[in-house]
Amino acid sequence: MINLTNIEKVYRTSSIETLALNNINLNIRKGEFVSIMGPSGCGKSTLLNIMGLLDEPSKGTVELDGQRVSTYRDKELARLRNEKIGFIFQSFHLINDLSVVDNVEIPLLYRSTNGKPRQTYAKEALEKVGLSNRIKHFPKQLSGGQKQRVAIARAIVGQPEIILADEPTGNLDSAMGNEIMNILQTLNNEGATIIMVTHDENMAKRTHRLIRLFDGTQVQ
């Protein structure tokens, strides 16, 4: 499903060059639940960003469903992200000015889905994460766990094949973290391919495969 070959990522400033990822080769199969672990600054999020087409590698190729995306232009990359990938972030990244349901609708806005069905899909997604009673609320009125569930609803509303989660439980207590993990496992059981960055060994144990990074290099 996702195939990374000889991925290298270098961050350059005028005086410093930092190698964030070095020679990463990775193949994620359809339906897998993969976790990525490693110390802070080892390149986990960078790797996730490259897989999610949020960032470009300095070298190497990224293939999504057999298509090399390096030559894709902004519009095509946007379409791929919109249709195939859903993102869950550690700090939720909800738009505070929009209500819960409006936040969840965002991916559908860029598919030209009409207003009524868009709202129906958003409500269904919220129901799936147990937040159907909070649709008119605003992010600031929600707890951390609730915010992350909204973020999950937003990630799944467009029924993407891949869900990329960057430390989805990082800002939550263990009980809430477990709840979020249960939702992710349910989604995986329903067929979604999930790649999750985590610091938590216990969470990682619940996934099919663990990838370890150290200083930008894959060690496991």
Q: What single letter denotes the amino acid at residue 196?
A: M
Q: Does 105 bind another protein (CB under 8 A)?
A: yes
Q: Does 54 bind another protein (CB under 8 A)?
A: yes
Please provide the size of the chain in residues.
220
**Binding pattern for the stretch 14-53 against another protein, x by CB under 8 A and - elsewhere:** --------------------------------x--x--x-
Nearer to another protein, 97 or 173 (CB): 97
Instruction: Give how many residues touch another protein by CB under 8 A.
Output: 29
Q: How far apart are the C-alpha atoms of 38 and 214, rounded to whole Å? A: 6
Which of 69, 98, 176, 210 is the binder for another protein (CB under 8 A)?
98
SS3 186: helix
> Crossing angle, helix 100-109 and helix 144-156, to 10 degrees?
20
Q: Does 83 bind another protein (CB under 8 A)?
A: yes
Q: Does 216 bind another protein (CB under 8 A)?
A: no
Query: What's the closest the beta carbon of residue 176 comes to another protein, in angstroms?
Result: 22
Which of 27, 29, 39, 115 is the binder for another protein (CB under 8 A)?
115
Q: How far apart are the C-alpha atoms of 99 and 208, rounded to whole Å? A: 35
The token duo for 179 is 């709840």
Q: Does 141 bind another protein (CB under 8 A)?
A: no
For 102-170, the DSSP string reads HHHHHHHHTTT--HHHHHHHHHHHHHHTT-GGGTT--GGGS-HHHHHHHHHHHHHTT--SEEEEESTTT
Residues 142-161 that bind another protein (CB under 8 A): 154, 158
Q: Does 55 bind another protein (CB under 8 A)?
A: yes
Query: What's the closest the beta carbon of residue 178 comes to another protein, in angstroms?
Result: 26
CA dihedral 44, 160, 129, 136 (to 10 degrees): 110
Any idea what DSSP says for residue 140?
A: G
Q: How far apart are the C-alpha atoms of 214 and 94, rounded to whole Å? A: 30
The one segment of 61-69, 91-99, 182-190, 193-201 that binds another protein by CB under 8 A: 91-99
Q: How far apart are the C-alpha atoms of 45 and 76, rounded to whole Å? A: 23
Q: Does 107 bind another protein (CB under 8 A)?
A: yes
Q: Does 200 bind another protein (CB under 8 A)?
A: no
Q: How far apart are the C-alpha atoms of 219 and 176, rounded to whole Å? A: 30
Residues at the interface with another protein (CB under 8 A): 46, 49, 52, 54-55, 74-75, 78-79, 81-83, 87, 89, 93-95, 97-98, 102, 105-107, 109-111, 115, 154, 158
